[in-house]
A and B are shown apart, each in its own frame.
Chain A
Amino acid sequence: MSQINPINTVEDRPAITLLSDDDNTGSLEVASQWRLIWIKFRQNKVALFAGVVVLLFYVVAVFAEFLAPTLPSKSQPRLTYAPPQSIGFFVENEAGERAIQLHVNGYGMTVDPESLRRSFTVDKEVIIPVGFFVKGEPYELWGLIPMERHLIGPLNPKDSMNLLGTDKLGRDVLSRMIYGARVSMSIGLIGVFSSLLIGTVLGALSGYFGGWVDLAVQRLIEVISAMPTIPLWLGFAAAIPLTWSPLQVYFIITLIVSLLAWTGLAREVRGRFLSLRHEDFVTAAKLDGCTTKRVIFRHILPSLTSHILAVVTLAIPTMIVAETALSFLGIGLKAPVVSWGVLLQDAQNIRTISSAPWLLVWPAGAVVVVVLAFNFLGDGLRDAADPYEH
């Protein structure tokens, strides 16, 4: 045995050099589950940002009527497949002075002498002044409050502003996108909610009755998850009678989408529930004299909720994509309902896409951004869902 360090001071903790100043261990001691989750989630900047993006999309969906420059159904027969205009900030008057004036440029039309097809180009000479909170097409906010102010629009209601271009009927793509956000984003929420409902009810049934009920539910989950989803969606969606109203179709599509998506949720929840059931603290609660109800609601469910939240967040984008795909194929939502999938229907053949790429780019971009945001958000939530693992 060689040298021994002469230690006279009594140490009672491991030696540590702190790297960050905020030593908030004191406040952590009284931090509840949700605060700990928030603290952990907050560190994931990407997920935080994704959360903000998702929130923004929902804000757009909620205030669609006000945010859209015009009505989604308003067609301009003289402006079909018009390209996007960009917003300019300065105009030059006759004297050549520059002044601040929000504006877009008007369109000039050329006719192809051979095919006689009209095509529009942005004409730099024509200035269409644009302003905020302008009067435009009258609408009812949430179908209740009659209004006619729009967040942004041409100062003269007769002028046309199409920031993202127009479609084959000359309808404003931006307005349609904004209205589409309402349908597409809400289908995700309602779909996930009904999935959760189906999953919870069936999960509870199989858990409560056990035995063959449990077996049947498990088999059902197995069967549904073994089926390729898109053919099944197609199968169910194609059976929707053509005579149904758009609202009925909307709900039935949501139901179809959630009918097939609940299995993943149910499996996740069931798995966690079963593993929690054998945790020591649950046994302790039983021995404390808790009724089954109290054990489930007070001791097991609080441990589950954060995980459920994460799983649900990750399931929403699947629903959105499903609706988009079905509507794109023409067996989901149909006009006059506007969703991103319905918008993409216009972008089905290569000729349209190549002459009016904005019909593909914007709706597809919106879908991708939303799906990406939900995935990042869900991932962040999942990582933060259990703040107690080492």
Chain B
Amino acid sequence: MLGYIIQRVFLMVPTMLGISIISFIIIQLPPGDYLTSVLAAMADSDVTFTADQIARMRENYGLDEPMYMQYIQWIWGIVSRGDFGYSFEWNRPVSELIWERMGATLSISFLSLLFVWAVSLPIGIYSAVRRHSIGDHIATLFGFLGLAIPNFILALTLMYVSFRYFGQSVGGLYSPEFVEQAMSWPKFVDLLKHVWVPVVVIGTAGTAALIRILRANLTDELNKPYVLTARAKGLPEHTVILRYPVRIALNPFVSAIGWVLPQLISGITITAIVLNLPTAGPLLLRALVAQDMYLAGSFILLMGVLTLVGMLLSDILLALLDPRIRFH
């Protein structure tokens, strides 16, 4: 088992490298470099530099070196010092800006994942066992709708509905009066009042997808001979279904972390922009629009790494759940 985990971690390295390269490409994509941006800003405030000064600054920032050296320096900064570069828009190191936002992103993603599981498991089982019943048709319809409505449209709609019919604004994570306060019980209650909107919005697509997958897998498993064996033993029907086919159809549930997580993080990015949540999304968009590339690239890098870690966890859980994977 330990060997398996080590092997998985080892396999992650090239993917991680790929993700960092893509992030770096995004940082480098806009025309001009970091210094051009700084100089432009300086020029705005009437500070000018001589060509000589500019060349020295270039050297200082390492911008005169070839691209791969800049990449290595960037990565080395992150790995050795946790230095993600400098946000020129905020005039602060990226690392100062990023962690709080990433924490909120992670928490909401995790809550959404729990929501996805909690909802799709019972509905999926019900749908598969009672195929073609009215409940199954409703679940299927809900599934299709959930998949078809893009996150941000769902968020906008929820916003509109709650504003129009409940007179309540659902943006943000806290009501305005709590934002600046320290964490307290009323503030926590207020958080719960707000957090369900992003969780539902982000989780819907994943829930719909998982219901469909679980229904399809379980339908397959229900026809397997081992289910008949279990019935022939004389087990009651619900025990048969829960102990055998459901146990095996659970695999995609665990492996779902691997692909639901990127989806959730994707979803939260855009949903957060619509709902104005203090997560990475709005900051990322702002950084991108302002071409504050180190900040933007770091967010993209961290989001990629986050999904990779999620995939690793799902692989490990899967191996725990299914002995066949463990022994191969």
| Complex Cα–Cα for A230 and B285 (A) | 11
Chain A neighbourhood of B152, CB < 8 A: 325, 328
Chain A neighbourhood of B262, CB < 8 A: 225-229
Residue of B whose beta carbon sits closest to that of A229: B266
A350 touches B266 (CB 8 A): no
Chain B neighbourhood of A357, CB < 8 A: 160, 164
Given contact pairs A353-B156, A353-B159, A241 touches B31 in the complex (Cβ within 8 A): yes
Q: Does A375 have its Cβ within 8 Å of any Cβ on chain B?
A: yes
A230 touches B148 (CB 8 A): no
CB under 8 Å from chain A, chain B span 23-40 = 23, 26, 29-31
Of the A-B pairs whose beta carbons lie under 8 Å apart in the complex, a sample of 30, sorted by A's number, is A219-B15, A223-B18, A223-B22, A226-B19, A227-B22, A227-B262, A227-B303, A228-B262, A228-B265, A229-B266, A230-B270, A231-B266, A231-B300, A232-B26, A234-B285, A234-B296, A235-B29, A236-B29, A238-B288, A325-B150, A330-B289, A353-B159, A354-B160, A360-B157, A364-B153, A364-B157, A371-B149, A372-B144, A375-B147, A376-B144
Residue of B whose beta carbon sits closest to that of A351: B163
Count residues of A near B (Cβ-Cβ below 8 Å): 43
List 3 A-B pairs, minimum CB-CB distance, nearest first.
A223-B18, A238-B288, A239-B29
Chain A neighbourhood of B273, CB < 8 A: 329
| Complex Cα–Cα for A360 and B161 (A) | 12
Residue of B whose beta carbon sits closest to that of A376: B144
Given contact pairs A231-B269, A328-B152, A375 touches B15 in the complex (Cβ within 8 A): no
Q: Which of B80-88, B245-253, B304-312, B320-328 contacts A (4 or more CB under 8 A)?
A: B304-312
Q: Does B95 have its Cβ within 8 Å of any Cβ on chain A?
A: no
A47–chain B nearest beta-carbon distance, Å: 12
* Extra A-B contacts (6), CB below 8 Å, given A230-B270, A235-B288, A331-B288: A232-B26, A234-B288, A238-B288, A344-B156, A367-B150, A376-B144
A231 touches B159 (CB 8 A): no
Q: Does A312 have its Cβ within 8 Å of any Cβ on chain B?
A: no
Give chain B's interface secondary structure class: helix
Q: Does A368 have its Cβ within 8 Å of any Cβ on chain B?
A: yes
Residue of A whose beta carbon sits closest to that of B311: A226
Q: Does A222 have its Cβ within 8 Å of any Cβ on chain B?
A: yes
B15 touches A368 (CB 8 A): no
A238 touches B19 (CB 8 A): no
B307 touches A227 (CB 8 A): yes
Given contact pairs A229-B262, A353-B159, A368 touches B291 in the complex (Cβ within 8 A): no
Chain B neighbourhood of A376, CB < 8 A: 144
| Complex Cα–Cα for A231 and B267 (A) | 9
Q: Which of A329, A348, A360, A368 sits near B148, CB closer than 8 Å?
A: A368
A325 touches B26 (CB 8 A): no
CB under 8 Å from chain A, chain B span 124-164 = 144-145, 147-150, 152-153, 156-157, 159-160, 163-164
How many inter-chain residue pairs (CB < 8 Å) link A and B? 131
| Complex Cα–Cα for A131 and B311 (A) | 59
Q: Does A324 have its Cβ within 8 Å of any Cβ on chain B?
A: yes
Residue of B whose beta carbon sits closest to that of A347: B156
| Complex Cα–Cα for A324 and B148 (A) | 13
Q: Does B284 have its Cβ within 8 Å of any Cβ on chain A?
A: yes
| Complex Cα–Cα for A249 and B289 (A) | 16
A360 touches B289 (CB 8 A): no
Chain B neighbourhood of A325, CB < 8 A: 150, 152, 270
A321–chain B nearest beta-carbon distance, Å: 5
Chain A neighbourhood of B288, CB < 8 A: 234-235, 237-238, 331
A375–chain B nearest beta-carbon distance, Å: 6
CB under 8 Å from chain B, chain A span 288-332 = 317, 321, 324-325, 328-331
Residue of B147, B153, B289 contacting most chain A CB atoms (<10 Å):
B153
CB under 8 Å from chain A, chain B span 162-177 = 163-164, 169, 171
A231 touches B303 (CB 8 A): yes
Q: Does B117 have its Cβ within 8 Å of any Cβ on chain A?
A: no
A239–chain B nearest beta-carbon distance, Å: 4
A223 touches B15 (CB 8 A): yes
Residue of A228, A231, A234, A367 contacting most chain B CB atoms (<10 Å):
A231
| Complex Cα–Cα for A183 and B5 (A) | 47
Chain B neighbourhood of A367, CB < 8 A: 150, 153
Q: Which of B147, B169, B299 sits near A231, CB closer than 8 Å?
A: B299
Chain A neighbourhood of B259, CB < 8 A: 225
Residue of A whose beta carbon sits closest to that of B160: A353
CB under 8 Å from chain B, chain A span 174-227 = 219-220, 222-227
